[in-house]
A and B are shown apart, each in its own frame.
Chain A
Amino acid sequence: MDVRVPEVPASYDDYRRRVREFVEAHKPELRMKEKAGLRVPDDPEDVAKLRAWVRALNDAGFASPAHSETKLDPYQARVLNEELGRAGVSVVLGNPLVGGAIKLFGTDQQKAFYLPRIASGEHIWTQLFSEPAAGSDLASLQTRGRLDGDGYVVDGQKVWSTWAQFSDYGYLLARTENKPGPAGITAFILDMKSPGVTTRPLREITGTTDFNEVFLDKVRIPVENVIGQPGQGWAVTTASLAQERGGVGSRGAEDSIAGLIRIARATKRAGRPAIEDGAVRQAIARFAARSRIQRALGYRVATKAAAKELGPADAPLTKIWFSELNLEINEYALSLQGPNGALAEGDPLAWQDGRFQDAFLYARAWTIAGGSNEIMRNLIAERGLGLPREARG
């Protein structure tokens, strides 16, 4: 066993310096505050600045390694990821999952046109999957696509689409054949400026707007915008969702744990600092242990991925571990603050301007989105452990 990451050789110091200088010179000053999770600006000016920033990074060869075509050696990719992480500003706009779908199932023309424009920030994408009546049971989606000449005419309603209000394209699932369930679903590339597309931002429990409803009324989509084959949409989606679930939580929650310790030092319980309370110490240590195990589970996934041994239960495991630990840590952070835990952003007495309150509310996005944790448990039990499927209507 060996999980040590080799030190970046000194010969990369110059590369690191160039990236850092570039980041310092081009990093945008945004009006949006840094918050928990994957957040979307509500100011169009911020979006324009972010587009310019991502384009500048791409032109300089410093686009996010996960989404760029630039060939980097592993040390360069690491240095670049570290330096972009330090910037604290998004380097990928919209929902980039469609990239995986196009890479795996797209035509050569689709690959040539869309992939570089995703990397350069020229195109922002949203995902048009969930519907008001099709959440966990995504395969029951009712948005219809009817073949009409050289295109499809699509009617329906989508929801939980991040970035849709600023998106150029949508990664859309619609039923094109009159079959129930996964069969008969087709994946499309939708130009969000098409006539008949209406986007309505949703305000969430956090008070901010990260998601949208999207209404589709007789929207025409040319046949060349199908990803893969008609009726193959479920396979296309499954491949890209697996990437989404596997991507979260491969690090620990060290920052939040340090946050708990700082709150416990600053907060009094019965006249003594909370950090001297045995119950508090036990709780913080249990979270820290689970955070450290989260990191070790990341090593486990990386090892299995390298050996091409990832199973259908592995991404659900990572997702449940991360999202439930994250939720519990943030819940605890509020109770640890005592009555001040009930304050929120904007109050001068709120700890770090309500950072943990926002994270507490946002934490439910992780336990629900990308396949709710209940669905994840079904996947583990049925596909991982081989338990029989339960009766479904």
Chain B
Amino acid sequence: MNFAYDEDQRLLRETTRRFLEERHPLAALRPNLETDTTLDRAVWRDGAQLGWTAMLAPAENDGGSVSEQPIVDLIALAEELGRVLYPGPFLAANVVADTLARCGDEAQRKDWLAPLARGERIAAWCASGDGSADASAIAVTATPAGGGLRLDGHARWVHDAHAADFLLVACRAPQGETLALVPMPASGVGVRVLKGLDLTRRFCEVTFSGVQVPSDALLGAPGSAAPALARMANVASVIQAGEAVGAMERLFELTVQHAKDRVQFGRAIGSFQAIKHRLADLWIELEGARAAAHYAALALADELRDREQAVATAGCYVREAASQLAGESLQIHGGVGFTWEYDVHLFLRRAKADQVLYGDPSWHAERLCRLLEAEVKEV
């Protein structure tokens, strides 16, 4: 029984934490809160050297993980990135890397995956028309044309598409769901940065208007992508949970410290039971969220029998808890929590945006209910 990070994963976390403290602490977000881009390419490239984009890629494509459970390595990283509300496309890069590693042919892995794993090229994931991970929400149509496909439609909530070197697009061909690679910039592709609640990251609307995709830029045959889409939703959900747990952990530390430091009525406010019990509840939610995220990562890494339930559990619990924790933390901070200058609102904004992206909690809950029904026999 070992439900904790192993030695190498702990080391990975420490290295990442030191790197981020030096190169991208929370304070580094400040100058870019209201600008069009929050991504620092130099930090991204150096982060890639620490394994940020390599865990799910095979060694021959310049990938490699620290343990036999690369998805667990990934959430160890995700927690550290979440602690500083790191703005870059860590989730999308790994979802795309995983998909290329599993579905790409040799040439595609060499041309698209290897530079992604090395941090030289940035990938954006066009999952759906509404930011969910549900295949029914795909809003890009693929029409056979010139031996390949022609893409028309749109994808929304695409992380850092404005900075991307290529897109992985989920689209609907006559044969069914299909995955296509589009190098950027490309004729017929439009990118608009969305103005979002979350000030730390930039999401985009990507429009496709007669975009030509040659057949060698399709992952597998047209119509064969359904299993890949399901896998992508799972990987995204686990990474997202890891980032959320990291952010919860950091904000909770700040809040406990505030409760110890802030004096009213001649006493630290953390000595009042109204605050104390709230903090105890938040700690319970944090530990619950961490356990859910870790188990989902483990279940996916080891392909455990209950992995779908494990991912759905993390999907419907973790981000709701994160949002709850962020709101309560702001409340405990009192008036200063309402100021632009304090970081609490950055965590709150991140948590609220995260809650609805790539499959909202109610979508995961419905999925969990279906899985349970299949398990419970009639009376």
Contact = CB atoms under 8 A, between A and B. Distances in A.
Q: Mostly helix, strand, loop or mixed at chain B's interface? A: helix
Given A1-B69, A261-B376, A300-B287, A382 B276 contact: yes
Interface in A375-393: 376-378, 380-382, 384-391
Given A1-B69, A275-B373, A381-B279, A293 B366 contact: no
A131 B43 CA distance: 63
Interface in B267-307: 267-268, 270-273, 275-277, 279-281, 283-284, 287-288, 291-292, 294-295, 297-298, 301-302, 304
Contacts of A10: none
Interface in B318-377: 362, 364-366, 368-369, 372-373, 375-376
Contact of B373 (A261, A282, A378, A386): A261
Interface stretch (B2-10, B12-20, B135-143, B173-181): B2-10
B1 A299 contact: yes
Contacts of B189: none
A2 B276 contact: no
Interface string B42-80: 000000000000000000000000000100100000000
A278 B367 CA distance: 12
Contacts of B376: 258, 261-262
B94 interface: no
Contacts of B272: 390
B310 interface: yes
A292 to B, nearest CB: 5
Contacts of A377: 276-277, 280-281
A23 B288 CA distance: 38
B317 A289 contact: yes
Chain A interface size, under 10 / 10 to 19 / 20 to 34 / 35 or more: 35 or more
Contacts of A304: 4
A317 B284 contact: yes
Contacts of A299: 1, 3, 291, 295
B280 A385 contact: yes
A319 to B, nearest CB: 10
A219 to B, nearest CB: 38
A87 B287 CA distance: 34
Contacts of B378: 265
A302 interface: yes
Given A2-B1, A300-B3, A378 B365 contact: no
Interface string A311-351: 00100010011000000000000000000000000000000
Given A1-B69, A262-B376, A302-B1, A381 B277 contact: yes
Interface residues on B, range: 35 or more
A272 interface: no
Contacts of A266: 379
A116 to B, nearest CB: 30
A304 B4 CA distance: 9
Contacts of B301: 1
A194 B373 CA distance: 56
Contacts of B309: 288, 292
A289 B292 contact: yes
B295 A387 contact: no
Contacts of A261: 372-373, 376
A201 B5 CA distance: 50
B276 to A, nearest CB: 4
A1 B2 contact: yes
A386 B283 CA distance: 12
A385 B253 CA distance: 9
Contacts of B366: 278, 281-282, 285
A302 B2 CA distance: 8
Interface string A1-39: 111110000000000000000000000000000000000
Contacts of A3: 1-3, 295, 298
B85 interface: no
A317 B312 CA distance: 23
Contact of A387 (B260, B281, B302, B375): B260
B313 interface: yes
A286 interface: yes
B229 to A, nearest CB: 22
A285 B276 contact: no
A296 B4 contact: no
A205 to B, nearest CB: 25
A297 interface: yes
Which of A289, A304, A307, A313 has the most C-beta atoms of chain B within 10 angstroms of its own C-beta? A289
A257 interface: yes
Contacts of A389: 271
Contacts of B260: 386-388
A313 B4 CA distance: 18
Nearest to A266: B379
Most buried by A among B1, B298, B310: B1
A258 B379 CA distance: 10
28 contacts: A1-B5, A2-B298, A265-B378, A275-B373, A281-B366, A285-B368, A286-B316, A288-B369, A289-B292, A289-B316, A289-B317, A290-B288, A292-B295, A293-B317, A296-B295, A300-B3, A302-B1, A306-B1, A317-B283, A321-B284, A376-B280, A380-B283, A380-B284, A385-B279, A387-B256, A387-B279, A388-B267, A388-B270
**9 smallest A-B Cβ distances: which pairs?**
A285-B365, A299-B3, A296-B291, A377-B280, A381-B276, A380-B280, A387-B270, A388-B271, A285-B368
